[in-house]
């Protein structure tokens, strides 16, 4: 196996990265399903692409990558397949979302409906979970671990 691929897939059998990976996957998947499939009240792929490109001015390639990161990336994270790559895509997507649309609204989520929009606390949590996965890999019970485990 190529050294770069081994490095990307390398992980240990610890439970902490498993918890971070699964939590991130479970929290992000519904958002990705909204954007890709129209589930949970979302607009689906074409509606989301239209909003991202026309309303937000995001180039189509980056808009599509964000949708893929949140949907297919979340599924890959859940399985622990290419965990670092999936976490990187989600982390970048959440960082861009935070700076493009949420820092102006302050730190806190809009629990009481008394601010213009949602703050960025959720984004920080997802970025933190993504960083744990990027650093540690998929951890226990991951496809990455199964592929790279030495006998």
pLDDT at 27: 98
Model confidence pLDDT, tens digit, residues 100-141? 989 999 999 988 888 888 999 999 999 999 999 999 999 999
pLDDT at 118: 92
pLDDT at 114: 87
Q: How far apart are CA 66 and CA 118, in angstroms?
A: 19
Q: How far apart are CA 130 and CA 133, in angstroms?
A: 5
Which sign does the torsion angle of CA 142, 146, 150, 151 carry? positive
The closest alpha carbon to 141, from 82, 79, 64, 73, belongs to: 79
**Average model confidence (pLDDT) for the chain?**
95
Q: How far apart are CA 14 and CA 3, in angstroms?
A: 22
pLDDT at 150: 63
Averages of pLDDT over each 10 residues, the chain, 151 residues: 89 96 98 98 98 96 98 98 98 96 91 89 97 97 90 50
The closest alpha carbon to 62, from 92, 31, 29, belongs to: 92
């Amino acid at each position: 196996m190529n050294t770069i691929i081994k490095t990307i897939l390398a992980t240990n059998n610890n439970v902490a990265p498993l918890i971070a990976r699964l939590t991130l996957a479970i929290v992000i998947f519904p958002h990705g399903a909204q954007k890709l499939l129209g589930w949970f009240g979302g607009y689906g792929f074409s509606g989301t692409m239209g909003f991202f490109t026309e309303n937000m001015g995001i180039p189509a390639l980056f808009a599509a990558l964000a949708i893929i990161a949140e949907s297919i990336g979340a599924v890959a994270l859940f399985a622990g397949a290419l965990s670092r790559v999936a976490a990187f895509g989600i982390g970048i997507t959440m960082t861009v979302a935070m700076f493009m649309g949420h820092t102006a609204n302050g730190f806190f989520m809009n629990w009481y409906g008394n601010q213009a929009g949602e703050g960025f606390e959720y984004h920080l949590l997802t970025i933190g979970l993504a960083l744990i996965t990027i650093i540690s890999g998929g951890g226990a019970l991951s496809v990455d671990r199964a592929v790279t485990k030495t006998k």
